[in-house]
Amino acid sequence: MTIPFELPAENRELSPFTGYTRAHWEAVADGLLGSAWRWATPGGALLDLPGRPSGSGVRSDGLEGYARTFLAAGFRVAGADGKDPHGWLERYAQGLTAGTRTPGRDDAESWPLILDHHVQGQPMVESASVALGLMLTRPWLWDRLDGDVQDRAEKWLRGSITHVPAPNNWYLFPFMVASFLESVGRGDAATTRALDRALDLMETWYRGDGWYADGDGRAFDHYNGWALHLYPLLHAHLSGDAALSARFGPRLREHLDGFSLLFAADGAPIHFGRSLTYRFAASAAVGIGAVTGHTPLSPGTSRRLISGNLRYFLERGSVTDDGLLSLGWHGPHEATLQNYSGPASPYWASKGFVALLAPEGDPLWTATEEPAPSEGPDRVLALPAPGLLIQSTQGDGIVRLHNHGSDHVRPHEGEVAAQEDALYGRQAYSTHTGPTAVPNVRENHLSVEVDGVGSVRRRVHPLGAGHGDGWGWAASWHRPVFASGPPMVPGLRVESVTVAHGAHELRVHRVVGAPHGARVTLTGWASDALASELVGLHGWVERDAVRAPQGTAYEAWVRVPRLSAEVTGTAVFVALASLSAEPADAALADAVTDVSVTEGELTVRWAEGPETVVTFGEQLRVQCG
């Protein structure tokens, strides 16, 4: 794909994997900013980018355009120690002046008021970006504003502190507003409360292995990197709070130890969770780790990851011919979006530019690029706290994520099949495939069919995870729920185990309490370009492939392999799956030499590698050896 703005020449000596240098990052920031500002209102307070409006309305979308691009400008100018050859900060100063003059009015420039999240919440999200932009550029923007403009800006920002955020990472938005106000001598008891409240919540959301839940439930996704780790460490870094840095830094280091494996050899991040249209914001955790020193990665590996991620999207159509980030993944893709996604939403990708806070002479930019973790030997890594299992293969550079612990069901919500979330409910995700659209066949899904209606996996209950040399496992159970007819069947549950060994995925499902006449189906990876295989080893009777004509974020049209069988009562089903860039392997089943199932126990003997034993019961156990 042609990139619609000029980039410097590649430097393959310094960056043998990507060719990108710090100058490329600056050029991309400048290119995106220049294109976006063509859509500014006369006073510069709103950037009304073209495209479908979000559920918050066009005025909120215009503020979003201002705030999220301000993030990119802030990182760009602060990282250059105030050098601003394109005059970005003058534009943002003018926009701030115009937008805060009469907030809430329906005119050409006024910003919307910040209200409670359930009333008019989106401006609260954008207030954090405005505050962070001002904090980053204080000597060159805020300190030069007239006092009355500063007072108006403070009054508008304080709406974030006095109103109620959504019960998740949103509490970090008033946190960043409070951080800024205190940094410019405008703190008080309210800002202190906003800081303390967010930090207290972060402790309750931290679950271990470097992962936070996004709220009180079990939502583990990219918000870990581009929000839950990023904001507290930016606050600590910019304010010089050594104690807070020492508190949150080791968690980021541990997070990156596993998360860094979730980037493919081609730079793609894992396609998992919501807000994926933020694209290369996925590298923000790697960037802030390099900037603060809280990272297990070498500078060359860090740059390999962030530049590979940036280049991946630039070369796959994420930027339109007009130089704007589109709503989607590679290019426009409706199924990737949420109802809060508007034309400027993709500009949260600006968080990836946090790496520019490392100055020109920093090792992040001067060290020679080194291979990404996924470019090393085949690896399997279990993360018990979030219930995730990561599997990467060197031969094709594909990374797979087996989900046995993350869902998008909040504690107060019931399990309703009509609220199925394809970005969380599937049992596996990868860097090279995406979930199918909800009206199509579900990929990587175990469905119990009762009276012809297939079940949905909503709340995920983790049962454990672990790994050894060349293998790993994760397990969970869920209660199947149905979109029509009775919403659930009493006593029906599904226990699921994934064992990753090399490029193979052993998928074990124990169905308990299936009613007479029920059927069970299992699907594999959705792809037509890659070799997606699924073979039954025990319990499965029929094998076919079904089409998903709406495709995925990667392909316009895909096939999905499927297994099926009848089931009554309790039964164990065993299958072997694979996803590979290599031609389909007709002998996939030969990877396993024997499968035996007795009451309460499954034994699988591999042609190469350890024997796998799964023991069912109150305490599910998996042993390989």
DSSP string computed for 578-597: EEESSPP-TTGGGGEEEEEE
**543, 588 Cβ separation under 8 angstroms:** no
**355, 290 Cβ separation under 8 angstroms:** yes
Rounded to whole angstroms, the Cα distance separating 172 from 119 reads 19
Q: What is the number of alpha carbons within 13 Å of residue 42 lying toward its C-beta? A: 2
- Residue that is written with structure tokens 């496992």 in the block: 473
Q: Which residues have a Cβ under 8 Å from the Cβ of 185 and sit 6 or more positions away?
A: none
Burial class (CB in 10 A: 0-12, 13-18, 19+), 367: middle
What pLDDT is stored for residue 585 in this prediction? 60
Strands 399-403 and 428-430: antiparallel
Rounded to whole angstroms, the Cα distance separating 124 from 170 reads 8
Q: What values do phi and psi take at 446, rounded to 5?
A: -100, 120
What pLDDT is stored for residue 584 in this prediction? 62
CB atoms closer than 10 angstroms to residue 199: 17
Kindly report the CATH number that applies to the domain delimited by 379-624: 2.70.98.70
What pLDDT is stored for residue 245 in this prediction? 98
What pLDDT is stored for residue 586 in this prediction? 61
Length, in residues, of the chain: 625
Q: Which amino acid is at 76?
A: R
Cα 343 from chain centroid?
19
Rounded to whole angstroms, the Cα distance separating 480 from 164 reads 34
**If you write DSSP's letter for every residue of 101-136 in order, what string do you get?**
SSTT--SSSPPPPP--HHHH-HHHHHHHHHHHHHHH
Rounded to whole angstroms, the Cα distance separating 139 from 516 reads 72
- Residue that is written with structure tokens 């990737």 in the block: 336
Cα 92 from chain centroid?
29
- Please name which of 531, 540, 512 lies closest in space to residue 396, comparing C-alpha atoms: 531
The list of the chain residues with pLDDT below 70 reads 1, 584-586
CB atoms closer than 10 angstroms to residue 189: 7
Q: Which residues have a Cβ under 8 Å from the Cβ of 372 and sit 6 or more positions away?
A: 17, 260, 263, 265, 301, 304, 305, 308
Token pair for residue 330?
């590679």
Rounded to whole angstroms, the Cα distance separating 329 from 306 reads 17
Cα 328 from chain centroid?
14
Q: Which residues have a Cβ under 8 Å from the Cβ of 615 and sit 6 or more positions away?
A: 600, 601, 621, 622, 623
What pLDDT is stored for residue 587 in this prediction? 77
Rounded to whole angstroms, the Cα distance separating 494 from 621 reads 16
Rounded to whole angstroms, the Cα distance separating 299 from 279 reads 22
**33, 377 Cβ separation under 8 angstroms:** no
pLDDT per residue as tens digits for the range 264-302: 999 999 999 999 999 999 999 999 999 999 999 999 999
What pLDDT is stored for residue 624 in this prediction? 87
Whole-model pTM: value is 0.97
Assign 332 to helix, strand or coil: strand
Token pair for residue 224?
């870990």
Spell out the long-range contacts of 247-251 with Cβ–Cβ below 8 A and sequence spacing 24 or more. Answer: 248/202, 248/294, 249/292, 249/293, 249/294, 250/294, 251/206, 251/210
Rounded to whole angstroms, the Cα distance separating 176 from 169 reads 12
Spell out the long-range contacts of 117-120 with Cβ–Cβ below 8 A and sequence spacing 24 or more. Answer: 117/163, 117/164, 117/165, 117/166, 117/170, 118/164, 120/56, 120/60
Structural domain boundaries of the chain? 22-375, 379-624
- Residue that is written with structure tokens 């400048």 in the block: 30
**543, 535 Cβ separation under 8 angstroms:** yes
What pLDDT is stored for residue 418 in this prediction? 87
C-alpha to C-alpha distances, 18 to 296, 334, 345, 514, 594, nearest whole angstrom: 21, 29, 27, 52, 44
Going by CATH, does the domain composed of 22-375 fall within 1.50.10.10?
yes
Q: What values do phi and psi take at 474, rounded to 5?
A: -150, 150
- Residue that is written with structure tokens 């001067």 in the block: 366
What pLDDT is stored for residue 301 in this prediction? 98
Strands 493-501 and 428-430: unpaired
The angle formed by the CA atoms of residues 448, 489 and 404, to the nearest 5 degrees, is 55
- Please name which of 99, 66, 85 lies closest in space to residue 140, comparing C-alpha atoms: 85
Burial class (CB in 10 A: 0-12, 13-18, 19+), 599: exposed
- Tell me the longest C-alpha to C-alpha distance in the chain: 78
